[in-house]
Amino acid sequence: MKFLDQAKIYIRSGNGGAGAVSFRREKYIEYGGPDGGDGGRGGDVWVEAVDGLNTLIDYRYQQHFKAGTGEHGMGRNRHGAGGADVVLKVPVGTQVLSQDKADVLADLDQAGKRVQLLKGGNGGFGNTHFKGPVNQAPRFANPGQEGQEAWIWLRLKLIADVGLVGLPNAGKSTFLAAATAARPKIADYPFTTLSPNLGVVDLSSGERFVLADIPGLIEGASEGAGLGARFLGHVERTAVLIHLVDATQDDVAGAWRTVHQELEAYGEGLADKPEILALNKVDALDPATRAEKARALRAAAGARPRLVSGVSGEGVTELLREAYALVRSRRAGAGAAEPTPAEPRAEDWAP
């Protein structure tokens, strides 16, 4: 299945049905009267986050979604049926944006979350609604209210706890394969990863978190160079970033600066997230070169880099446990921020 994380679609709620103009004409009934029913309500447009989806590819093949129109009212005070709703099924983590992408209309960050995007038009009143002592035989009814329409953007931001960032060929996919059961494409050329990959890190029965690997960044990515910075949205929700630097390249400090500058240019608080700096591919270096590269990277970043290797597995588990500690502290903080429901008092109870 092809990965698609953005889609522009057209949505429209249903029109309301018109009210009916009708009069009773039964035989042997001396006095008739208006009996036109009301029109049905137009259908609404909803968006719902569901499990089991990880791409917006379905919205590439269908871009127009229209809810049903309410049926017209009929005689004998029969009201029209309401129009059918339209429910857009999207992956968890999808955001709904306005046409100009300036406003976030909905953020579906939990499975089962459901948001109404457009409301259907109300049905018109039939002539029965307007009868009275002055006008006992009204010969008019309301038309149905028109529905609403809009162009919107669906943007998927994957739900992950930890994100991997770095230059192309930094070994992110190899690290993901070593840390999880995911099997991303691995090759010895840049931009092997063309779309984000997810994997579940299973350190123990109670130590699990989701790790996201995104395509590599290059200088000028925030301005569209390479694959651009569009995939950085998939690590916005993470608690911590693991910044992998290729230890086999000449300028490890320059590699760190390039990625860090692109994170700052992107914004959204990515540059302020907790970052674990790791010097990857150390299995290819001798001890003296390792120490030299680590010193250069520490001088540039101001933090001690971890020495890891996705190929040999050196330092991978220790790095993952450090990342999990940060994820756990964030989860604990989020739980403390949620208000605890007040205990019901005895005097508030009623049968």
Query: Is 262 part of a structural domain of the chain?
Result: yes
pLDDT score of 222: 63
- Under 8 Å between Cβ of 101 and 95: no
Tell which residue, 42, 24, 43, has the closest CA to residue 34. 24
Query: Is 272 part of a structural domain of the chain?
Result: yes
Same domain as 218, residue 106: no
In degrees, to the nearest 5, what angle opens at C-alpha 241 toward C-alphas 235 and 247?
125
Same domain as 280, residue 266: yes
pLDDT score of 190: 65
Query: Is 255 part of a structural domain of the chain?
Result: yes
Q: What is the CATH number of the domain that holds 295?
A: 3.40.50.300
Domain count, the chain: 2
pLDDT score of 349: 39
Q: Residues 237-248: pLDDT tens digits? A: 889 999 999 999
Same domain as 99, residue 236: no
* Residue 18, both tokens: 């018109």
The helix-helix angle for 287-301 and 252-266 (nearest 10°) equals 30
Among 117, 138, 156, give the residue marking a domain's end.
156
Among 156, 182, 210, give the residue marking a domain's end.
156
* Residue 272, both tokens: 């302020």
pTM score, whole prediction: 0.80
Among 128, 156, 184, give the residue marking a domain's end.
156
CA distance 337 to 345: 24
pLDDT score of 224: 64
Query: Is 348 part of a structural domain of the chain?
Result: no
Helical H runs in 75-217?
172-179
Q: Which of the residues in the chain have pLDDT under 70?
A: 1-2, 187-192, 220-228, 334-351
Same domain as 13, residue 145: yes
Tell which residue, 85, 168, 165, has the closest CA to residue 119. 85
Same domain as 212, residue 125: no
Q: Which residue range(s) make up the domain with 81?
A: 1-156
Phi/psi at 259 (nearest 5 deg)? -70, -40
pLDDT score of 231: 81
Q: What is the CATH number of the domain that holds 36?
A: 2.70.210.12
Same domain as 152, residue 190: no
Same domain as 255, residue 232: yes
What is the DSSP pairing of strand 86-91 with strand 45-50?
Answer: parallel
Same domain as 189, residue 91: no
Same domain as 294, residue 221: yes
